[in-house]
Amino acid sequence: MSKSKLKKCLKDLKSNGGSLEEIKFVSKLLRKRMQSSVNDQRDYENELNENFWKFCKNEFENTEELEPNLSEQSCFDYFKNLFKEKSKSRLFNWPSWLSSFLSASKDFDLECPTY
């Protein structure tokens, strides 16, 4: 029985004058269910403090087997759409009080440097 059904049952028992034994049983069962759900959650902070490297190993050991389901094209499309300007109101308007930059005196050299 779920917690919500137990709550409803307890409410019905109390409003309809159910026996004291039934009310105690249902309320005890409900408290037990609520405590177990709280205890089921892992305490990551405590595990990290106890043994950091063991925690990391357990958490990340299985992730090495996972491969990304992204292709190069899907990544390209994602970032292209992410950085593509969608709204003209978001364009940067150069303030009139700010002087513009001078043009470059020579072109940018794309060659790799040699040492």
d(CA 56, CA 5): 39
d(CA 82, CA 74): 12
d(CA 22, CA 10): 9
The predicted model scores a pTM of 0.34
pLDDT tens by residue, 75-89: 888 888 777 766 666
Structure tokens at 59: 């958490």
Lowest mean pLDDT among 18-22, 93-97, 104-108: 93-97
**In the prediction, which pLDDT does 51 show?**
92
